[in-house]
């Protein structure tokens, strides 16, 4: 009986060991099976080839300030009351044209007083000169003293000085009288009239703003690597938002030629500061806009797109291939379907493609679209975008 019991115990122990071993083997087999499946998994994604394309970069500018080099206030140079305007708002004028006439009752009175002072000074000078000549003749005959002669000479010189002073006062009054006609300081249009007929103004008061908006300028600070692709005289095109320009800075008739939706203006590069011959990380580019159609005023416009007017051949990838905000990283798919993170040097973009200066060769495949969860060495199955297949 004991022998049978012992055999049963051994059998039970062997069965327990077998069950534990079987469970361990199954667990080991499942882990390796899962690992093998993970190793052999393939991520499906979209990709595109790096290609040399005709490229015309574009950028949307948050804000762009247009300014005019020809704009100045016509200022009253003396006190007076405005009698008459000779021009109206938006009138074309030339530098020196009379804009307005003023009156100052004190100036004619001062001129009369100056003329009277001149007459008195002339009479005094004539009397002093006669006395001086008489003393000179007497001195030659030794009939007068040297002191009397010198006193007569001094009185004559003083009379001459008094006459010059009176004449200077009259000339100053005449100049002030001329200032009663306010002239245009520059060529252009009368943009703003500050003072109306009948208003009394003091010297230094602005009367009107005159300016020429036919040519406007704006400047952009850009990186040196972008500036290297620019040439003085190069043209670009400005596209304004798909809304009419409603803003007015000077209440002019500018904007009458506004083409409305998606209007486009031409801008020419006039200056790069500092010039490309000097080292710099950032350069200021100055652009000139032909505004003879009277579309824009000197003010800030937002949402303007600037597109280069020339097209050139350059290596590009879709803008969606950039894996970071700084546009210096992409994921490249090699011949075996393995992805690799790679640093690149990118340039400008046209909202669809972006220039690649360094880091990629033509024909290489890059991931586009979503990069979530992608890592170096991951196996992928890349579907090329139709136009790049």
pLDDT at 152 over 60: yes
Q: Does 268 lie in the same domain as 217?
A: yes
pLDDT at 250 over 80: no
Residue 37 lies in a domain: no
Q: Does an H or E element contain 62, and which?
A: strand 58-65
Cross-strand partners of 354: 317, 349
Residue 379 lies in a domain: yes
Predicted local confidence at residue 386, as pLDDT: 61
Of 166, 206, 209, 163, the residue nearest 190 (C-alpha): 209
Rg over alpha carbons for the chain, rounded to the nearest Å, is 45
Number of neighbours of residue 173 by Cβ within 10 angstroms? 20
Which pLDDT tens digit goes with each residue over 324-378? 888 889 999 998 889 999 999 888 888 889 999 899 999 999 999 888 888 888 8
CATH of the domain at 205: 2.40.50.100
Q: Does 175 lie in the same domain as 199?
A: no
CATH of the domain at 130: 1.10.287.470
Residue 62 lies in a domain: no
Q: Does 148 lie in the same domain as 113?
A: yes
Which pLDDT tens digit goes with each residue over 167-217? 999 999 999 999 999 999 999 999 889 999 999 999 999 999 999 888 999
Q: Does 355 lie in the same domain as 237?
A: no
Q: Does 247 lie in the same domain as 132?
A: no
| Cα-to-chain-centroid distance, residue 344 | 30
Q: Does 223 lie in the same domain as 190?
A: no
- Judge whether 286 and 221 are in contact, CB under 8 Å: no
Total residue count of the chain as it appears in this document: 389
Point out the domain boundary residue: 241, 265, 298.
298
What is 84-151 written as a DSSP string? EESS-TT-EE-TT-EEEEEE-THHHHHHHHHHHHHHHHHHHHHHHHHHHHHHHHHHHTT-S-HHHHHH
Predicted local confidence at residue 361, as pLDDT: 92
Predicted local confidence at residue 27, as pLDDT: 65
Number of neighbours of residue 154 by Cβ within 10 angstroms? 12
Tally DSSP H helices, then E strands, for the chain. 4, 23
Residue 28 lies in a domain: no
- Judge whether 236 and 309 are in contact, CB under 8 Å: yes
Of 57, 99, 342, the residue nearest 206 (C-alpha): 99
Residue 276 lies in a domain: yes
Q: Does 137 lie in the same domain as 159?
A: yes
Residues 65 and 67: their CA atoms lie apart, in Å, by 7
Q: Does 204 lie in the same domain as 85?
A: yes
pLDDT at 111 over 70: yes
Residue-range definition of the domain harbouring residue 320: 43-54+313-388
Number of domains in the chain: 4
Predicted local confidence at residue 77, as pLDDT: 94
- Judge whether 226 and 348 are in contact, CB under 8 Å: yes
Which strands form 58-65's sheet, in the order they lie side by side? Answer: 58-65, 300-308, 235-239, 264-273, 282-290, 215-223
Point out the domain boundary residue: 128, 156, 179.
179
Q: List the single range of 16-25, 32-41, 151-160, 363-372 with lowest mean pLDDT.
A: 32-41
Can you tell me whether residue 339 is helix, strand or coil?
Answer: strand
pLDDT at 388 over 50: no
CATH of the domain at 361: 2.40.420.20
Point out the domain boundary residue: 266, 298, 330.
298
Q: Does 327 lie in the same domain as 287?
A: no
Q: Does 196 lie in the same domain as 231?
A: no
């Amino acid at each position: 009986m004991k022998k049978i019991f012992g055999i049963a115990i051994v059998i039970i122990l062997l069965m327990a060991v077998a069950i534990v071993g079987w469970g361990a083997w199954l667990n080991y087999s499942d882990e390796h099976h899962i690992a093998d499946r993970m190793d052999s998994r393939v991520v499906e994604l979209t990709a595109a080839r790096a290609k040399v394309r005709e490229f015309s970069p574009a950028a949307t500018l948050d804000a762009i300030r247009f300014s005019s080099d020809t704009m100045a206030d016509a200022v009253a140079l003396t006190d007076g009351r405005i009698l008459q305007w000779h021009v109206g708002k938006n009138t074309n004028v030339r530098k020196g044209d009379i804009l307005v006439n003023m009156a100052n009752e004190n100036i004619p009175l001062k001129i009369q007083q100056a003329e009277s002072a001149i007459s008195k000074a002339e009479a005094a000078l004539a009397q002093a000169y006669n006395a001086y000549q008489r003393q000179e003749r007497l001195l030659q005959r030794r009939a007068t003293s040297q002191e009397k002669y010198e006193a007569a000479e001094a009185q004559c010189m003083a009379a001459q000085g008094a006459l010059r002073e009176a004449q200077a006062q009259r000339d100053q009054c005449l100049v002030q009288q001329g200032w009663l006609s306010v002239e245009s300081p520059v060529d252009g249009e009368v943009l703003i009239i500050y003072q109306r007929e009948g208003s009394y103004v003091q010297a230094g008061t602005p009367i009107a703003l005159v300016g020429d908006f036919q040519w406007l300028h704006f400047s952009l600070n850009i990186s040196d690597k972008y500036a290297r692709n620019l040439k003085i005289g190069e043209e670009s095109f400005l596209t304004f938002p798909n809304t009419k320009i409603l803003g007015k800075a000077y209440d002019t008739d500018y904007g009458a030629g506004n083409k409305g939706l998606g209007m486009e203006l031409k801008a020419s590069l006039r200056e790069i500061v500092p010039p490309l011959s000097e080292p710099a990380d950032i350069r200021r580019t100055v652009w000139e806009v032909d505004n003879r159609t009277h579309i824009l005023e000197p003010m800030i416009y937002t949402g303007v797109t600037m597109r280069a007017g020339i097209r050139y051949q350059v290596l590009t990838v879709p803008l969606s291939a950039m894996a970071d905000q700084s546009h210096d990283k992409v994921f490249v798919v090699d011949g075996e379907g393995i992805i690799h993170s790679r640093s690149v040097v990118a340039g400008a973009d046209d909202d669809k493609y972006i220039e690649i200066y360094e880091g990629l060769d033509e024909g290489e495949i890059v991931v586009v679209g979503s990069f979530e969860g992608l890592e170096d060495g991951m196996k992928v199955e890349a579907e090329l975008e139709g136009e790049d297949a």
